[in-house]
Amino acid sequence: MPAGFPDFRLGTVLATSFTGTLSERHGDPVERIPTPQRLVDWLEVNGLAVDSCTPAQLDLARELREAIHAAATAAAIGDALPTSAVRIINDRSIHGRAAAILTSEGHRRWRLSSPSCVEDALGVIAADAIDIISGERDGKLALCGSPTCRAAFFDTSQSRTRKWCDMNTCGNRQKKARFNATHRRR
């Protein structure tokens, strides 16, 4: 990762990993895609490589990220999906022209219509969000147990009882805080 930028939080679910590009939403927010190049970097790490990104495309990406976060949060707590979030997710999905391709190793990859078409990559992310929010994929939307994070994540664990969006950050932080609190009381 380039110096000065926080690492990406990589998960197994594209849409919720994308919402994780803004973390600590209820604390001191950490923006992980502050520049168009950082969005290019994130997309590449997630199998959606593009050559470039404009500031306007970065704005579209952030708008989609916040729409997915709002809709996933509502779904996780059983509220009605926000109309504006649904519209944004659907618009991004419709405008994307990526195609799923099968590799010779039997893996799915995405082919974008052009090497600089961020909109195609956003369409893939939006389609993934539609799958998890609509219940089409096996798993459950939940909210991170960290009071400063509260990120929506997609729980595919066997028991569907995960507490944190990421064990390496939020989970460890919470366990460390409990440990320290216990030792201070002694």
pLDDT of residue 5: 52
Tokens of 185: 């009381």
pLDDT of residue 25: 87
Residue 63 lies in a domain: yes
pLDDT of residue 159: 84
Residue 144 lies in a domain: yes
pLDDT of residue 179: 59
Cβ-proximal residues to 19 (8 Å cutoff; 6+ apart), any chain: 65, 68, 69, 72, 151, 152
Q: How many domains does the chain have?
A: 1
Task: Output the pTM of the full model.
Answer: 0.85
Residue 1 lies in a domain: no
Residue 150 lies in a domain: yes
pLDDT of residue 171: 64
Domain that includes residue 89, residue range: 14-184
* Cα–Cα distance for residue pair 115/167, rounded to 1 Å: 34
Residue 149 lies in a domain: yes
Residue 125 lies in a domain: yes
Residue 6 lies in a domain: no
Helix (H) or strand (E) holding 31: strand 30-31
Residue 65 lies in a domain: yes
10-residue averages of pLDDT along the chain (186 residues): 57 88 87 95 93 96 97 96 98 92 90 86 96 92 86 86 76 64 69
pLDDT of residue 1: 46
* CATH code of the domain containing 171: 1.10.3300.10
Helices (H), the chain: 14-19, 36-45, 55-77, 83-95, 118-133, 172-185
